[in-house]
A and B are shown apart, each in its own frame.
Chain A
Amino acid sequence: MIETRGLRKSYRSREGRETKTVDAVRGVNLDVAEGEIFGFLGPNGAGKTTTLRMLATLIEPDGGEATVAGADLRKDPAEVRRRIGYVAQGGSTWDESSAREELVLQARLYGISKAEAHRRAERALEAFQLTEYADRKCKTYSGGQRRRVEIALGIIHEPKIVFLDEPTTGLDPQSRAHMWDEIRRLRTEGMTVFITTHYLDEADALCDRIAIMDHGEIVAEGTPAELKREISGEVVIVGLDAPSTPRAAELLDTEAYVSKLETVDEGGLRLYVDEGATAIPQVLRRLDHAGLDLRSIELHRPSLDDVFLTKTGRSLRES
């Protein structure tokens, strides 16, 4: 659905008398498959929005190539526009208009006839549970309602791909969960969804595949599970008495599934394993056979933040 090679964009910014060139996006290669929710994860200023805006034809790339929904981004941006939807981060509705007016206008801007535009607006209002407020001015909407109108505007022409820039930023937890459901619904309807986010949990829970972006480059790409596995596998933390710890270490060190073993000072072990879910029963059985009592057993799965930390040397939460 989307294929990019070496997509680049730099800005010139002036600081005092000097003009500096800032490389916002430095050569992005992406392959997004049809019907998936693809996420761009990274801190603010990583170049996610710039990449998205290039793919949505809003800014021209300085270099590189891209095919979006089968159309060449550089040679035929008009065709790309017809096939994609784009929902900006900062909102796109006018205070004094109603959701219905906005939807009808947007449909008509895509060349849809008046009658059909009204039909589509009605359907979209229903699908996004906005019928009740359809004819009220946008300024009376809650943050969540307004965001739903904006997403509805982005897909009113039934595009193959929709780009959502930070779709849940600024929403309360309930509206956020609601928005995730809406996004999953779009996928069910066969749309490819491309989102940017700086929320780890959002990337993890919502996206089929993600690309982690930092300083204008993609530093990792894969399914959330793959990325996390790639890091260090998982860690099983076994709580034991100090006296029985050496004996347990001796027993488990020889097990094939344990790739690395560390002793915890106050007693207990850290076992680095490929998959915790299969390792835990084996650890329990082994220690039980040896008659060793364990106090606790915990599984620590690496998070996407661990992935980000490994790839960039800093935590996403801090940046």
Chain B
Amino acid sequence: MKLARDTWLIFQRQTQLLLRNPVWIFVGVFQPVMYLLLFAPLLKPALNAPTQAAAYKIFVPGLLVLLAIFGGLFQGFGLIAELRAGVIERSRVTPVSRLALLLGRSLRDVVSLIAQAVIITLLALAFDLRVFIGNLLLAYLMLALIALMTSAVSYGIALKVKSEDALAPLMNTVAQPVLLLSGILLPLTFAPGWLQGVAKWNPFSWAVEGTRALFNGDLGNDRVWQGLGIIAVLAAAGVFWAARQFARSVR
């Protein structure tokens, strides 16, 4: 009860500040739209897809997962600014739940990610992409869990390193192999055997495959529940770890 109330307070505040500066919607949507317009047309011939819509069914889920991973991983920067302003310390002297300090922020990130995902899905509809609404909602759940995990981890790391200069290279170093090993841009079915083997250890590749299956209307595909399960466990672990950093962090 207290946790829910505290989380709501933090979420409300963070969302209010976000809405006050709506540039983020433009920035958050601009890049994926560029991919959609300038990169996706290459895919039909490259993937040997029968139609443009088929190519989008492969590409759009990957793009959304990409957005969830990166959108989350870079949230730590905002937290470092708050740390420096003393806002975190001010919260930590109150009896507010430490978990709520994290969850309120991460939920804001999840909501803003879903908003971006909706905009991109709607745009893709204009390019003849068709998805069942139930499958789409499950895919959004996957995206929400990914964003929850990556933003929580990003906050936890931000509290540990306490400086943008350390956070930026760290996040880029983590994000790049994660991106390449998840088959986000091109499906890993094209990859040589060893690369597929390595990618099996990347939880995001399971998430990407699961999301693709959902967009493909293949709800019974094992990758769907496996992807959701793996990401859910990791999200819980990420939240647990990051909340501990909020309880412990100094300044």
Which A residues are closer than 8 A to B by beta carbons?
56-59, 78, 81-82, 84-86, 88, 90-97, 101, 105-106, 108-111, 153, 157
Please count the residue pairs between chain A and chain B whose beta carbons lie under 8 angstroms apart in the complex. 57
Could you say which of A56, A58, A110 contacts B95, with CB atoms under 8 Å apart?
A: A110
Chain B residues within 8 Å of chain A by Cβ, number: 21
Q: List 14 A-B contacts (CB under 8 A).
A: A58-B93, A88-B86, A88-B89, A88-B90, A92-B85, A92-B90, A93-B86, A94-B17, A96-B17, A105-B9, A105-B13, A109-B6, A109-B91, A153-B90
Asked whether, in the complex, the Cβ of A109 is within 8 Å of the Cβ of B94, the reply is yes
Q: Given the complex, which residues of B lie within 8 Å of A109, measured CB to CB?
A: 6, 9, 91, 94-96
Could you say which of A82, A106, A111 contacts B90, with CB atoms under 8 Å apart?
A: A106
* Nearest residue, chain B, Cβ from A78: B95
Which B residues are closer than 8 A to A by beta carbons?
2, 6, 9, 13, 16-17, 20-21, 82, 85-87, 89-96, 250
A78 to B13 alpha-carbon distance, docked (Å): 23
Question: Which 3 residue pairs are nearest across A and B when measured between Cβ atoms?
Answer: A92-B86, A92-B90, A109-B94
Q: Given the complex, which residues of A lie within 8 Å of B86, measured CB to CB?
A: 88, 90-93
A153 to B13 alpha-carbon distance, docked (Å): 16
A106 to B94 alpha-carbon distance, docked (Å): 8
A79 to B179 alpha-carbon distance, docked (Å): 46
A57 to B250 alpha-carbon distance, docked (Å): 11
Q: Given the complex, which residues of B lie within 8 Å of A96, measured CB to CB?
A: 17, 20-21
B104 to chain A, nearest CB (A): 11
A73 to B85 alpha-carbon distance, docked (Å): 26
Main secondary structure of the interface of A (DSSP, over half): loop
The answer to whether residues A92 and B89 also contact, given A108-B9, A110-B95, A111-B95 and a CB cut-off of 8 A, is yes
| Interface core residue of A88, A93, A108, A153 (most chain B CB under 10 Å) | A108
Q: Given the complex, which residues of A lie within 8 Å of B21, measured CB to CB?
A: 96
Q: Given the complex, which residues of A lie within 8 Å of B91, measured CB to CB?
A: 109
Asked whether, in the complex, the Cβ of B95 is within 8 Å of the Cβ of A95, the reply is no
The answer to whether residues A57 and B85 also contact, given A96-B17, A108-B9, A109-B6 and a CB cut-off of 8 A, is no
Q: Given the complex, which residues of A lie within 8 Å of B17, measured CB to CB?
A: 94, 96-97
| Interface core residue of A59, A88, A96, A105 (most chain B CB under 10 Å) | A105
* Nearest residue, chain A, Cβ from B17: A96
Q: Given the complex, which residues of A lie within 8 Å of B6, measured CB to CB?
A: 109
A90 to B83 alpha-carbon distance, docked (Å): 11
Q: Given the complex, which residues of A lie within 8 Å of B85, measured CB to CB?
A: 91-95
A93 to chain B, nearest CB (A): 7
Q: Given the complex, which residues of A lie within 8 Å of B90, measured CB to CB?
A: 88, 92, 106, 153
* Nearest residue, chain A, Cβ from B96: A109
A93 to B91 alpha-carbon distance, docked (Å): 11
* Nearest residue, chain B, Cβ from A138: B85
B24 to chain A, nearest CB (A): 13
A59 to B249 alpha-carbon distance, docked (Å): 9
The answer to whether residues A94 and B82 also contact, given A59-B250, A105-B13 and a CB cut-off of 8 A, is yes
A82 to B89 alpha-carbon distance, docked (Å): 15
Q: Given the complex, which residues of B lie within 8 Å of A95, measured CB to CB?
A: 85
A108 to B95 alpha-carbon distance, docked (Å): 10
B227 to chain A, nearest CB (A): 37
Q: Given the complex, which residues of B lie within 8 Å of A97, measured CB to CB?
A: 17
A101 to B12 alpha-carbon distance, docked (Å): 11
Q: Given the complex, which residues of B lie within 8 Å of A56, measured CB to CB?
A: 93
* Nearest residue, chain B, Cβ from A77: B95
Asked whether, in the complex, the Cβ of B87 is within 8 Å of the Cβ of A110, the reply is no
The answer to whether residues A110 and B89 also contact, given A59-B250, A94-B82, A96-B21 and a CB cut-off of 8 A, is no
B102 to chain A, nearest CB (A): 14
* Nearest residue, chain B, Cβ from A81: B95
Q: Given the complex, which residues of B lie within 8 Å of A84, measured CB to CB?
A: 93
The answer to whether residues A81 and B94 also contact, given A108-B9, A109-B6 and a CB cut-off of 8 A, is yes
A56 to B92 alpha-carbon distance, docked (Å): 10
A193 to chain B, nearest CB (A): 16
* Nearest residue, chain B, Cβ from A93: B85
A110 to B93 alpha-carbon distance, docked (Å): 10
Q: Given the complex, which residues of A lie within 8 Å of B13, measured CB to CB?
A: 101, 105
A250 to B129 alpha-carbon distance, docked (Å): 110
Could you say which of A81, A93, A101, A108 contacts B93, with CB atoms under 8 Å apart?
A: A81
